[in-house]
Structure 1
Amino acid sequence: MSDNNQISVLVVDDEENFREALARRLGRRGLMVTQEADGEAALARLGEQAPDVVLLDVKMPGLDGLEVLRRIKKARPLTEVILLTGHAHLETSITGLEQGAFDYLLKPVPLEELVEKIHDAWEKKSVQERKIRAVRAEGVKP
């Protein structure tokens, strides 16, 4: 496992109490956590600096999580997205995974499980970044 201080996480959820509590709990685990209340704000933040992992609520007013996921993967394909939802819908989870989500978890997710998923997502992103650097070092475009 990596050093938590290297992992940046963006929590996107319209439920303020849930979002803030989750951000605090992840922060206590040494993760660098930022948060946004909606998809538009999350996408604006991604334009400034992409986190390693996005924890993204599926059901939000305005842009829903699946649309935000599509836009994240288009703009920042290496950023890993873990979808969170309070409502289990098989179709939504399949769609999210097909569109590039790293995983789809039901709220409330046990903190240890979520931290493990964040580490797994970060590791996947890191492997992809190393591959890209290796290809570029050889002078070949990826």
Structure 2
Amino acid sequence: MTTESMTVLLVDDEPDFLSVVARRLERREMKVHSVGSGEEALALLETHPVDAVVLDVKMPGMDGIETLKRIKAAHPEVEVIMLTGHADLEVAISGMALGAFDYLLKPADIDELMFKLRDASRTRPRV
């Protein structure tokens, strides 16, 4: 699978960040869904299959770690890349023990995000 054929779900409570990253990924021919909370992410995953989730660690309500646990329980094949600030780096790393594919520090460099999404797409089982 190439990144151009990937469907990605962005989960972050910062609308400006979501908008910028979504536009940049769409320019690279990716299909992008964006939601502002863990609850919205779980609801969307029930009706829209995705290849990867880019998930913010720190969100009000259901945080990224709880969202990760629930995503992996319901959709173990979906790769999750955690987004974190420096203060939450340990949390993101512990998320990898819970099944996250990788993590990125905010603000995420778009080329680095593309590289990680490309890697994540290689681990997905072929259907």
Q: Does 1:16 align with 2:54?
A: no
Counterpart residue number, 1:79: 78
Pairwise CA distance, 1:81: 0.2
Matches within 5 A, 1:1-142: 2-125=1-124, 129-130=125-126
| Residue-by-residue CA offset, 1:87-120 (whole Å, 9 max, x unaligned) | 3434312320000000011011211111010010
Q: How many angstroms does 1:6 deviate by?
A: 1.6
Please give the alpha-carbon distance, in whole angstroms, between the structure 1 residues aligned to 2:121 and 2:87.
25
Q: Structure 2: how far apart are the matches of 1:38 and 1:90?
A: 20
Unaligned runs of 5+ in 2: none
Give the structure with higher Rg (CA): 1
Aligned residues: 127
Q: Deviations over 1:24-59 (max 9, x none)?
A: 011001111110011100000011122100000000
TM-score, normalization by structure 2: 0.94
SS at match of 2:32: strand
Task: Note if contact 1:88-1:106 (Cα within 8 Å) is conserved in structure 2.
Answer: no
Inter-partner Cα distance in structure 1 for 2:113 and 2:89: 20
Query: What CA RMSD, in Å, does the superposition of the two structures yield over aligned residues?
Result: 1.3
Tell me the distance in 1 between the aligned counterparts of 2:90 and 2:7.
29
Q: Which has the higher contact order (CA 8 A, sep 6+)?
A: 2
5+ unaligned residues in a row in structure 1: which ranges? 134-142
Q: Deviations over 1:11-30 (max 9, x none)?
A: 00000000111000110011
Corresponding residue SS for 2:60: coil
TM-score by length of 1: 0.84
What amino acid sits opposite 1:67 in the alignment?
E
3-state SS of paired residue (2:100): coil
How far, CA to CA, are the matches of 1:93 and 1:56 in structure 2?
10
